[in-house]
């Protein structure tokens, strides 16, 4: 990215201001990037942990899997998933508040005795699966923000800050050269005037 500038004091001051803004923002951006990186790792670890917990519970119910053929799947449905949001390093992320279930009426005398336990098991499994999905979504949102922040850090650190510094250096050298030439020209004019006066 080439920085456009003119060889004058006004342009130099404008560039210095832009440079100062970026130099001040860079540490904050780096801290944000580090915080996001940590939060992405935490969300990933939690999603993995929930997946393992879900797998463990499903494995524990393997021996009663044949009973599930008797279970009426219309008995239980998810009524509502209540979410709130929380800002992490400036990124709005979902937080699971609760999962509301709706249990249909059924005849407890005709249904197998394990149905209430089955409903409880399904609620646990569904809640775990939903929580895992929310952590995966959180991880995805945070990782996207981290990538954007990393891009901005790299842009500032590797492109813009060195570019502004280089442009300011070029302007300074140009203005110094111009001043030196002006002084030299004044000296020459002064010497000629003195010579002309001396000849009179």
pLDDT, tens digit, 9 for 90 and up, residues 99-116: 999 988 877 777 777 778
Number of domains in the chain: 1
Give the per-residue pLDDT at 1: 59
Closest CA to 54 of 119, 138, 126: 126
Measure the CA–CA gap between 2 and 91, rounded to whole angstroms.
31
Q: Would 199 be classed as within a structural domain?
A: no
Residue pair 29/156 in contact by the 8 Å Cβ criterion: yes
More confident residue, 198 or 142: 142
Q: In this model, does residue 51 exceed pLDDT 80?
A: yes
Q: In this model, does residue 33 exceed pLDDT 80?
A: yes
Give the per-residue pLDDT at 110: 79
Q: 90 in the Ramachandran plot: left (φ > 0), alpha (ψ -120 to 50) or beta?
A: left
Q: Would 122 be classed as within a structural domain?
A: yes
CATH code at position 115: 1.10.287.3240
Q: Would 200 be classed as within a structural domain?
A: no
Q: Would 84 be classed as within a structural domain?
A: yes
Q: In this model, does residue 47 exceed pLDDT 90?
A: yes
Q: Would 2 be classed as within a structural domain?
A: no
Work out the number of other CB atoms within 10 angstroms of the CB of residue 44: 17
Report the half-sphere exposure of 65 (CA within 13 A, side-chain side): 6
Lowest-confidence pick of 94-103, 117-126, 145-154: 117-126
Residues of the domain holding 46: 9-192
Q: Would 13 be classed as within a structural domain?
A: yes
Q: In this model, does residue 163 exceed pLDDT 80?
A: yes
Burial 147-176 (b: 16+ CB within 10 A, else e): eebbebbeebeeebbebbeebbeebeeeee
Q: Would 1 be classed as within a structural domain?
A: no
Give the pTM: 0.77
């Amino acid at each position: 990215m080439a920085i456009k500038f003119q060889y004058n004091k006004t342009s130099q001051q404008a560039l210095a201001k832009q440079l100062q803004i970026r130099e001040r923002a860079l540490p904050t951006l780096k801290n944000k990037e580090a915080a996001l990186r940590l939060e992405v790792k935490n969300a990933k670890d939690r999603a993995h942990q929930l997946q393992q917990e879900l797998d463990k519970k499903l494995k524990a119910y393997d021996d009663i899997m044949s009973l599930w053929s008797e279970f009426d799947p219309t008995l239980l449905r998810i009524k509502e998933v209540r979410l709130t949001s929380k800002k992490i390093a400036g990124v709005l992320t979902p937080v699971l508040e609760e999962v509301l279930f709706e249990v249909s009426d059924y005849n407890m005398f005709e249904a197998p005795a394990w149905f209430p336990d089955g409903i409880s098991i399904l609620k646990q499994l569904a809640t775990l699966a939903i929580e895992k999905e929310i952590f995966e979504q959180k991880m995805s949102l945070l990782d996207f923000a981290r990538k954007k922040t990393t891009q901005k850090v790299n842009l500032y650190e590797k492109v813009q800050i060195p570019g502004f510094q280089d442009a300011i250096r070029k302007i300074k050298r140009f203005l110094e050269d111009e001043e030196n030439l002006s002084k030299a020209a004044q000296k020459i004019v002064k010497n000629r005037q003195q010579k002309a006066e001396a000849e009179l």
